[in-house]
Chain A
Amino acid sequence: MIEVLLAMVVLVVGLLGVFGTLTGASNSIGAAERAAVMAQAGQQALQAAEAVPYADLADSSAPVQTSATSTTNPTYYLSGCTAGACTAYQWNPSSTSSAESLAIDTTAGKVAPLSTAVVPVPSTSGCTATATANCQITVSVYVFVTNSTDSICSQSGVTCASTTSYKRVTVAVKNTGSGGPLNPTYLSTFVSNNVGGLTDPLDGATSSTSLTNCLDGTTTVACTN
């Protein structure tokens, strides 16, 4: 009898462990799934920003700070905020001196500073960016475009044509649903004003007989090959 009781206790403890592990694994996999969605949403937002013509590469409205206390909120690193709307962004969380002026153009700017990405619960409808009740995953996508000055511009003898060497695009994706990840996912790159024109040798180089063409081995071909 004692043996049976002991065996039952052992089994119950074991099953509790199994249950706990399965629950933990489920949560972990759920968080990983959300992290994957965050990464994908971030990459999509970054690629969309990179595709915008340089002149239009700006936030279409001033980003709004929604938290000045939580470092897991990407807007925590905004500064120069008046009535919520901000003028600068600290791209390096560990360095307060890294704040750069935001590129905001309410007329030509093509980058929305905040958007929402969702993943619906399977076999359900009604999950949208504005109605997230039936959504399995909901994330907020922040895109901050800032004016960046290259460090060489401060070197002696170097003259830079503009105070903005290139634009920095920082994408922060935060899970706004339940569960992890608690920290946002960040992606950041630069976009320069390399638009070609008269001084671009590749401008108009569309055939092998163009003034500019390309050499593939010993064969002259269009540079579009």
Chain B
Amino acid sequence: MHKLTRPRQLGAGVRALRLGAGVRRAADDETGFIMIVAISILTALLVLIVAVASSAQHVNATTTRAEASGAALASANAGAQVALFRLDTTGTLTGATGSMGNGATYDYAVTTLSSSSSPCTGLWVQNSTQSVQQDCITSVGSVNGVNAQVQARVAGYTPTTSLYPINGVFAVDGFYAAGSPTGAFSLGSNGAMNLTNATLPDINGDLFYQAGQLTQSQNSNQQCSSPCTLVQDSAAITVPSVSPSAYASAATTNNDGAISWPSNLSYSSSTNSVTSNGSNNATVYLPAGTYYFCSLALGNATTIQATGSPVKIYIDSSSDSSTSCPSGSGNLTGDDVTVTAFGGTASNLQLFLYGQPGCTGTNCPADLPQNTATFTADVFAPYSYENDNPLTVTGAMVIGYVYENTLNVTYQGPAASGSSTGGTNADFFPAREAICTPASTPTTGSC
């Protein structure tokens, strides 16, 4: 028994001893446990730190990018404006780059659009009476590596040489004025400009004169001064012309038959002439179209009112060898005559007088009304003499010689048949603008 129990007792003691050693060993094994936990916590915190820092950095980067994107778009728009200005000024299609400061730059390209299938933003622009030309401006703005791109379709009337070289009145052979010529217009002549009795500061525009041909009042208050500006021409102004074939064409095909003449005016289709029965205050309405006459002898206070646009009135004369106009014809007469373009826009009504080519100064026929005439129209009569009092023109005029005591002119803007300057560059205007997919260089084509 003892042999049996002792070993069990001894065994228990040994197990107790062994357990104590195990505990100690276990305790010994947990050395560094706290450090491990601490490092684990630190690792978790490190991950958290990295995530927070990364997030903050991302927010920063996004904000910076958004900020640069706005500035880049502004630069791209600036480039498009520069391109448009240069296109209008020189007609150049060459692209260019530029700086806007603070690291912002632009880079633009310009392409000509030749047909409705030419790729660009917006739709093909067309006009039923005038030719329209179109270009496509594509501009890229860049700031700190962030790009923005815009595109604009620009359209402008194809320029033609203006019939009206002066933005106002061009008196080919000379000009005499008294009183106070008034209005926003320019005045020019290749001949003598006798303005001795005129007060000129009421002219808001330029006085174009040839050397030695200008005579002003000795009174300094009456001489040309701001806003009137004296401009001496270095050469004679080229006298524009209208082909005789234009008169011949109007004689063949015209809208004279569409006019409903008032009772006091009679129209003869055989002589293409209009005469008055002496009654006054008639109004003649002209729908859009071309009209041809040899003479218009109107009663007093007659109004010619265009009801559409464009209206072209050709008054031929016996000086035209291709016409059958009788001798002494070729004029528009009547007191207190008013000619008004549709909508009050002068270029909507063009009045052409054949006159007497080759005549000079007061030897030219007096083809326009001699006592009170008011034109809201562009009047082209380079071989006619105008001696009216008063004459009021809203529009542009080319006349052979002018003798006026009272002249009021308001130049509206580009005269008929061309641009205001007779230049060769179209005046472009934005037809459609769009923001495109960003690119580092201008992407011509569809946006």
Query: Which residues of A line the B interface, CB within 8 A?
Result: 3-4, 6-8, 10-11, 14-15, 17-18, 21-22, 24-26, 28-29, 31-33, 35-36, 38-39, 42-43, 46, 50, 91-95, 98, 150, 152-153, 158, 160-161, 165-166, 168, 170, 185-192, 194, 196-202, 205, 211-216, 220-221, 223, 225
List residues of chain A with CB within 8 A of the CB of B32: 3
Shortest beta-carbon distance, B190 to chain A, in Å?
A: 22
Residues B123 and A216 in contact, CB atoms below 8 Å apart: yes
Given contacts A198-B345, A199-B157, A160 and B89 within 8 Å (CB-CB): yes
Report the 5 A-B pairs with minimum CB-CB distance, sorted nearest first: A92-B101, A25-B56, A214-B123, A7-B38, A190-B81
B81, A166: Cβ atoms closer than 8 Å? yes
Contact A212 B104 (CB under 8 A): no
CB distance from B370 to the nearest CB of A (A): 31
CA distance in complex: A94, B124 (Å): 43
B60 adjacent to chain A (CB < 8 Å): yes
A92 touches B42 (CB 8 A): no
> Contacts A165-B85, A185-B67, A186-B101; is A25 near B53 (CB within 8 Å)?
yes
Closest B-chain residue to A90, C-beta based?
Answer: B101
| A158/B90 in contact, CB under 8 A | yes
Q: Contact between B347 and A202 (Cβ–Cβ < 8 Å)? A: no
Q: What residues of A have a CB within 8 angstroms of the CB of B104 in the complex?
A: 186, 188
Q: Tell me the total A-B contact number using a CB cutoff of 8 A.
A: 193
Taking the closest CB of chain A, its distance from the CB of B411, in whole angstroms, is 12
Do B67 and A39 touch (CB < 8 A)? yes
Tell me which residues across on chain B come within 8 A of A21, comparing CB atoms: 49, 52-53
Smallest distance from the beta carbon of A49 to chain B beta carbons, Å? 11
13 other A-B residue contacts (CB within 8 Å) besides A186-B104, A189-B100 = A14-B38, A21-B52, A32-B59, A43-B70, A98-B101, A158-B90, A186-B102, A190-B81, A198-B414, A199-B419, A199-B427, A211-B127, A214-B122
Residues on B with beta carbons closer than 8 Å to the beta carbon of A196? 429
The answer to whether B74 touches A215 (Cβ under 8 A) is no
Bound Cα distance from A42 to B72, whole angstroms: 13
Give the distance in Å from the alpha carbon of A15 to the alpha carbon of B53 in the complex.
15
Q: How long is the Cα–Cα vector from A168 to B34 in the complex, in angstroms? A: 67
Residues of B within 8 A of A36 (CB): 63, 66-67
Q: Which residues does chain B contribute within 8 Å of A98, judged by CB atoms?
A: 101
Which residues of A lie under 8 Å from residue B46 when comparing CB positions?
14
Question: Which residues of the partner chain B approach A29 to less than 8 Å between Cβ atoms?
Answer: 56, 59-60
Distance in angstroms between the alpha carbons of A194 and B85 in the assembled complex: 9
Question: Is B64 close to A, CB under 8 A?
Answer: yes
Q: Is the CB of B81 within 8 A of A28?
A: no
Does B325 interact with chain A (Cβ within 8 Å)? no
The answer to whether the Cβ of B21 comes within 8 Å of any Cβ in the partner chain is no
Complex Cα distance, B90 from A7, in Å, reads 78
Q: In whole Å, how far is A3's beta carbon from the nearest beta carbon of chain B?
A: 5
Closest A residue by C-beta to B155: A201
Q: List residues of chain B with CB within 8 A of the CB of A194.
A: 84, 429-430
Query: Nearest residue in B to A21 (C-beta to C-beta)?
Result: B49
Give me 28 A-to-B residue pairs in the complex whose CB atoms sit less than 8 angstroms apart, sorted by A's number.
A3-B35, A10-B35, A10-B42, A18-B45, A21-B49, A32-B60, A32-B62, A36-B63, A39-B70, A92-B102, A158-B90, A186-B101, A186-B102, A188-B102, A189-B81, A189-B100, A192-B84, A194-B84, A196-B429, A201-B132, A201-B429, A202-B125, A205-B125, A212-B126, A214-B126, A215-B124, A215-B126, A225-B123
